[in-house]
């Protein structure tokens, strides 16, 4: 058999070449300096499909160091198929320690959730973003949305929220609820549920957002104002789980997933898999608190 | 007889097609076996069958071999072949609830009746080039297959079962838009009559089932990206085999075999048509021959998009979508540009020459007038 020696070169640490990683880090610095502003970047091709978290991977691979402890979640779960695949990839390309434990991780990549446990200033969370442009739903052309951001002209956005309210009696935007960052830019917080949105406000953690397919990066630095868009008389609301509870732990104060058994019976379970484990084992957890969740507690939930 | 520049056409085209055949075999390698193509080029076969509009894996393999792997060309050959066949029966409606499921996933729910069955998929793998494939041997394949067989414990194999559907869950809860009684439910066979607009849904779905994957994808993707406003979720994606039955002359249902299909039901929140109607979920539907998930996902996105009256986005426009995703027709017309066009070109050539001359003449006159005016 022919020995193939042509392809035996090892990959660079963290897959991407150093020059490109540096470029991404430079763009990240710019993103941090202008909270909520989308910065275009090179977005190199990855061995993962576009739209499956390439933007998150670019950031992760650009900032990860040998000492980092890496956690990746998809829809709240460490065990989700895409999370498993990406974890293997990052682990294979960096040799970094991986973990399921939210508290232990130094770098967390996520799709569609923020952990239930409060993150600290020692941690970075990287979001995979499918649609970075919050104005896309009201304006399809990029050159126009750029102009709207530049002029802070967000009238169309407010009109669309108002229209939704008039039509349905509520703002129907589900996940990815648009937020105003640092009083300047409207930002799409990646499709995290409304439950997680208030946790972006004045947080200790650095939030980095990567949209690979659309080639945009943006960030929310620690201790930055992040406010969901609302009206004086029509307010932002989080998901209502008051009538349900986790069937495994009986816990109510967390984002719950709806699951169906083979018989079609409906149950709820805590979406954050690590948080669920900790709750099941009665371990101590330090949860985010925000005015929306606190309000729920006042109702005795 | 006068001089004709392009002559001897017959001989030239014979030579050209002979040369094409030479290019196909010039490496003087072992001919690819049809069985090998069927087995190892599974997804190409499925594309060709779907776009060719005929379920015939073996013929699809032959077409693919003949076309040197060009999927468009192979689908085209199959379409032409299909014309030679008598249509004896219309099958009974296939029931995908009877599907022998090889893959079944939902992106809407974490857990679904029967569980998520990943089946054969490269979705969650890393697309790194596997250079070992370059030197793969028959022994490697045998070793893999033996190892694979050894992992199967026949005692753990469960009895074959079928599964309920995700949309049933939503239906039971009354979250799906009730069927619109005014919607055209007539069945049109698009292979027997020309499509008319507005086209009934049956015709639209048939057109898309034969449409070219790339074309469907371009439009389906445009709808997700902002040209139109369909933000869909995969309710349930299934791939597997379903039985096909026809009614014989005596009126009895006869099983005639099974085919592989991919099916997708896409959930989308809908804008209510009238005030006072709740924003129900609607289902976009996609079904095609063989294993082609991209195609059914885009089909169902476009199914939803085309049901929206709002215009201004290509994906919402029936005519735009259906005409331009018809791969065999699009490829034919695109390539017809290579045919000689000297007669039509000659006539526009003389028109253009005359127009340029007229223009030059007027310009000169204007110039002269200007000179005269200045001299005055």
Same domain assignment for residues B109 and B187: yes
CA–CA dist B215, B70 (Å, integer): 16
Residue B37 neighbours by CB distance under 10 Å:
21
What's the pLDDT score for residue B9?
A: 77
Of the listed ranges A9-18, A178-187, A196-205, A250-259, the least confidently predicted one is: A9-18
Phi and psi for A278 in degrees, rounded to 5? -65, -40
In what helix (H) or strand (E) does residue A73 lie, and over which residues does it extend? strand A69-74
Of the listed ranges A215-219, B161-165, B309-313, the least confidently predicted one is: B309-313
**Interface membership of B112 toward A (CB under 8 Å):** yes
What's the pLDDT score for residue B76?
A: 93
- Does the pLDDT at position B277 exceed 80? no
- Does the pLDDT at position A3 exceed 70? no
- Determine the structural domain holding residue B362 and report its residue range: 341-375
Same domain assignment for residues B183 and B318: yes
In a domain, B9, yes or no: no
User: Do B134 and A261 lie within an 8 Å CB cutoff?
Assistant: no
In a domain, B5, yes or no: no
In a domain, B305, yes or no: yes
The residue in chain A having the minimum alpha-carbon distance to the alpha carbon of residue B123 is A49
User: Do B113 and A82 lie within an 8 Å CB cutoff?
Assistant: no
The band of A116, judged by pLDDT with boundaries at 50, 70 and 90, is very high
User: Do A172 and B137 lie within an 8 Å CB cutoff?
Assistant: no
As given in the structure block, the two tokens for residue B294 are 């991209």
Same domain assignment for residues B68 and B112: no
- Does the pLDDT at position B1 exceed 70? no
Of residues B114, B126, B135, nearest to A2 (C-beta)? B135
CA–CA dist B209, B216 (Å, integer): 10
Same domain assignment for residues B246 and B318: yes
User: Do A48 and B109 lie within an 8 Å CB cutoff?
Assistant: no
As given in the structure block, the two tokens for residue B173 are 């809860």
Same domain assignment for residues B44 and B107: no
Q: Are A71 and A100 in contact (CB under 8 A)?
A: yes
Q: What distance in Å separates residue B237's CA from the closest CA in chain A? A: 16
Of residues A82, A260, A269, nearest to B169 (C-beta)? A260
Q: Identify whether A173 is preceded by a cis peptide bond (ω within 30 of 0).
A: no
Same domain assignment for residues B36 and B117: no
Average pLDDT, integer, range A12-29: 94
User: Do A81 and B118 lie within an 8 Å CB cutoff?
Assistant: yes
Of residues A84, A167, A259, nearest to B109 (C-beta)? A259
> B57, B84, B111: which is the final residue of a domain?
B84
User: Do B137 and A1 lie within an 8 Å CB cutoff?
Assistant: yes
In a domain, B142, yes or no: no
Mutate to test the interface with A, among B101, B109, B111, B272 (most CBs of A within 10 A): B111
User: Do B113 and A4 lie within an 8 Å CB cutoff?
Assistant: no
Same domain assignment for residues B253 and B348: no
Average pLDDT, integer, range B181-206: 84
What's the pLDDT score for residue A262?
A: 76
Length of chain B: 376
CA–CA dist A14, A252 (Å, integer): 39
Q: What distance in Å separates residue B127's CA from the closest CA in chain A? A: 4
CA–CA dist A90, A46 (Å, integer): 12
ipTM of the complex: 0.72
- Does the pLDDT at position B131 exceed 60? yes
β-sheet bridge partners, residue B236 = B265
As given in the structure block, the two tokens for residue B56 are 């015939």
Same domain assignment for residues B171 and B309: yes
Q: Using CA atoms in the order A268, A273, A279, A280, what is the torsion angle rounded to 10 degrees?
A: 80
User: Do B169 and A7 lie within an 8 Å CB cutoff?
Assistant: no
Structural domain count of chain B:
3
Average pLDDT, integer, range B27-51: 95
What's the pLDDT score for residue A204?
A: 97
Average pLDDT, integer, range B264-279: 79
Same domain assignment for residues B170 and B298: yes
- Does the pLDDT at position A301 exceed 70? no
CA–CA dist B347, A43 (Å, integer): 50
| Pick from A88, A21, A30: nearest CA to A61 | A21
**Interface membership of B161 toward A (CB under 8 Å):** no
What's the pLDDT score for residue B3?
A: 52
CA–CA dist A176, B162 (Å, integer): 36
What's the pLDDT score for residue B342?
A: 79
In what helix (H) or strand (E) does residue A198 lie, and over which residues does it extend? none
Give tens-digit pLDDT for B40-58: 999 999 999 999 999 999 9
The band of B280, judged by pLDDT with boundaries at 50, 70 and 90, is confident
- Does the pLDDT at position A8 exceed 80? no
Q: What distance in Å separates residue B96's CA from the closest CA in chain A? A: 18
- What are the angstrom distances between the C-alpha of B335 and each of A19, A298, B21, B75, B339? 43, 70, 20, 15, 8
- Does the pLDDT at position A212 exceed 80? yes
Residues above pLDDT 70, as percent of chain A: 95
| Pick from A56, A58, A194: nearest CA to A125 | A56
Of the listed ranges A90-99, A204-213, B12-21, B270-279, the least confidently predicted one is: B270-279
Average pLDDT, integer, range A264-289: 92
Q: Which one has a higher pLDDT value, A261 or B216?
A: B216
Same domain assignment for residues B116 and B39: no
DSSP state at residue A182: T
Chain A partners of B128 at a C-beta cutoff of 8 Å?
47
In a domain, B157, yes or no: no
Residues above pLDDT 70, as percent of chain B: 95
- What are the angstrom distances between the C-alpha of A32 and each of A77, B11, B319? 27, 69, 46
β-sheet bridge partners, residue B257 = B244
**Interface membership of B110 toward A (CB under 8 Å):** yes
- Does the pLDDT at position A127 exceed 60? yes
Chain A partners of B275 at a C-beta cutoff of 8 Å?
167
In a domain, B153, yes or no: no
In a domain, B326, yes or no: yes
Q: CB pairs below 8 Å between A and B: how many?
A: 71
Give tens-digit pLDDT for B152-164: 988 888 777 788 8
Kindly give, in sequence order, each residue whose CB lies less than 8 Å from that of residue A114, ignoring residues fewer than 6 positions away.
A125, A192, A196, A199, A200, A288
The band of A226, judged by pLDDT with boundaries at 50, 70 and 90, is very high
Average pLDDT, integer, range B61-78: 95
User: Do A85 and B125 lie within an 8 Å CB cutoff?
Assistant: yes
In a domain, B233, yes or no: yes
User: Do A140 and B226 lie within an 8 Å CB cutoff?
Assistant: yes
Q: Which one has a higher pLDDT value, B156 or A230?
A: A230
Q: Are B79 and B328 in contact (CB under 8 A)?
A: yes
What's the pLDDT score for residue B273?
A: 63
- Does the pLDDT at position A37 exceed 90? yes
Q: What is the 3-state secondary structure (H, E, C) of chain B?
A: CCCCCCCCHHHHHHHHHHHHHHHHHCCCCCCCCHHHHHHHCHHHHHHHHHHHCCCCHHHHHHHHHHCCCCHHHHHHHHHHHHHCCCCCCCECCCCHHHCEEEEEECCCCCCCCCCCECCCCCCCCCCCCCHHHHHCCHHHHHHHHHHHHHCCCHHHCCCCCCCCCHHHHHHHCCCECCCCCCCCCCCCCCCCCCCCCCCCHHHHHHHHHHCCHHHHHHHHHHHHHCCCCCCCEEEEEEEEEEEEEEECCCCCEEEEEEEEEEEEEEEEECCCCCCCCCCCEEEEEEEEECCCHHHHHHHHHHHHHHCCCCCCCHHHCHHHHHHHCCHHHHHHHHHHHHCCCHHHHHHHHHHHHHHHHHHHHHHHHHHHHHHHHHHC
What's the pLDDT score for residue A4?
A: 53
The residue in chain B having the minimum alpha-carbon distance to the alpha carbon of residue A139 is B226
- Does the pLDDT at position A1 exceed 50? no
Q: Which one has a higher pLDDT value, B246 or A243?
A: B246
Give tens-digit pLDDT for A137-151: 898 888 899 999 999
The residue in chain B having the minimum alpha-carbon distance to the alpha carbon of residue A48 is B126
Same domain assignment for residues B229 and B304: yes
Alpha-carbon Rg for chain B, nearest whole angstrom, is 28
Same domain assignment for residues B166 and B206: yes
Chain B partners of A131 at a C-beta cutoff of 8 Å?
225
Chain A partners of B113 at a C-beta cutoff of 8 Å?
260-264
Q: Map out the domains of chain A with their CATH numbers.
A: 18-228 (3.40.50.11310), 256-299 (no CATH)
The band of A5, judged by pLDDT with boundaries at 50, 70 and 90, is low
Give tens-digit pLDDT for B329-369: 899 889 888 887 878 888 888 888 888 898 888 888 888 88
Average pLDDT, integer, range B126-146: 92
Chain B partners of A168 at a C-beta cutoff of 8 Å?
278-279
Kindly give, in sequence order, each residue whose CB lies less than 8 Å from that of residue B155, ignoring residues fewer than 6 positions away.
none
């Amino acid at each position: 058999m022919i020995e193939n020696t042509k392809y035996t070169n090892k990959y660079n640490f963290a897959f991407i070449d150093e020059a490109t990683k540096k470029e991404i880090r430079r763009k990240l610095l710019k993103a941090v300096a202008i909270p909520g502003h989308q910065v275009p970047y090179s977005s190199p091709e990855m061995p993962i499909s576009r739209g499956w978290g390439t933007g998150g991977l670019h950031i992760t691979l650009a900032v990860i160091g040998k000492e980092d402890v890496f956690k990746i979640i998809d829809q709240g779960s460490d065990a989700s198929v895409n999370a498993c695949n990406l974890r293997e990839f990052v682990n294979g390309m960096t040799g970094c320690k991986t973990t399921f434990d939210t508290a232990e991780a130094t770098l967390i990549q996520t799709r569609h959730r923020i952990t239930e446990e409060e993150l600290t200033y020692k941690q970075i969370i990287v979001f995979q973003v499918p649609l970075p442009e919050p104005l896309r739903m009201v304006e399809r052309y990029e050159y126009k949305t750029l102009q709207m951001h530049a002029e802070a002209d967000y009238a169309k956005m407010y009109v669309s929220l108002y229209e939704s309210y008039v039509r349905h009696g509520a703002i129907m935007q589900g996940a990815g609820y648009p937020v105003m960052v640092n009083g300047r830019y409207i930002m799409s917080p990646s499709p995290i549920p409304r439950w997680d949105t208030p946790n972006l406000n004045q947080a200790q953690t650095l939030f980095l957002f990567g949209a690979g397919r659309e080639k945009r990066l943006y960030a929310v630095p620690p201790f930055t104002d992040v406010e969901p868009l609302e009206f004086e008389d029509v307010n932002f609301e989080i998901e209502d789980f008051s009538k349900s509870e986790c069937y495994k732990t009986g816990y109510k104060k967390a984002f719950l997933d709806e699951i169906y058994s083979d018989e079609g019976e409906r149950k709820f379970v805590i979406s954050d898999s690590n948080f669920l484990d900790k709750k099941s084992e009665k371990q101590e957890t330090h949860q985010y608190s925000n005015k929306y969740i606190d309000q729920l507690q006042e109702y005795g939930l | 007889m006068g001089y004709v520049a392009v002559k001897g056409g017959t001989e030239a085209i014979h030579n050209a097609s002979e040369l094409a055949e030479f290019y196909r075999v010039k490496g003087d390698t072992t001919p690819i076996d049809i069985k090998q193509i069927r087995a190892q080029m599974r997804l190409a076969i499925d594309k060709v069958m779907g776009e060719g509009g005929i379920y015939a894996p073996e013929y699809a393999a032959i077409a693919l071999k003949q076309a040197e792997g060009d999927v468009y060309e192979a689908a085209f050959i199959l379409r032409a072949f299909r014309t030679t066949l008598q249509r004896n029966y219309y099958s009974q409606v296939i029931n995908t609830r009877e599907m022998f499921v090889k893959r079944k996933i939902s992106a809407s729910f974490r857990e679904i009746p029967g569980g998520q069955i990943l089946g054969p998929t490269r979705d969650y793998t890393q697309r790194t080039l596997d250079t070992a494939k370059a030197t793969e041997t028959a022994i490697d394949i045998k070793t893999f297959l033996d190892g694979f067989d050894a992992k199967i414990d026949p005692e753990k194999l469960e009895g074959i079962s079928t599964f309920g559907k995700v949309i049933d869950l939503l239906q039971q809860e009354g979250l799906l838009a009730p069927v619109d009684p005014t919607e055209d439910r007539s069945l049109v066979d698009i292979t027997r009559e020309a499509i008319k607009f507005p086209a009934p849904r049956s015709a639209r779905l048939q057109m898309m089932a034969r449409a070219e994957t790339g074309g469907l994808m371009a439009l389906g993707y445009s709808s997700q990206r902002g040209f139109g406003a369909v933000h869909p979720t995969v309710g349930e994606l299934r791939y597997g085999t379903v039985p096909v039955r026809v009614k014989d002359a005596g009126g009895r249902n006869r099983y005639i075999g099974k085919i592989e299909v991919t099916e997708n039901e896409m959930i989308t929140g809908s804008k209510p048509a009238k005030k006072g109607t709740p924003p129900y979920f609607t289902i976009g539907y996609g079904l095609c021959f063989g294993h082609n998930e991209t195609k059914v996902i885009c089909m169902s996105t476009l199914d939803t998009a085309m049901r929206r009256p709002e215009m201004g986005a290509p994906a919402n426009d029936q005519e735009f979508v259906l005409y331009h995703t018809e791969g065999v027709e699009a490829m034919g017309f695109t390539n017809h540009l290579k045919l000689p066009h000297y007669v039509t070109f000659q006539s526009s050539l003389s028109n253009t020459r005359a127009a340029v001359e007229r223009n030059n003449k007027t310009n000169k006159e204007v110039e002269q007038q200007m000179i005269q005016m200045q001299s005055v």
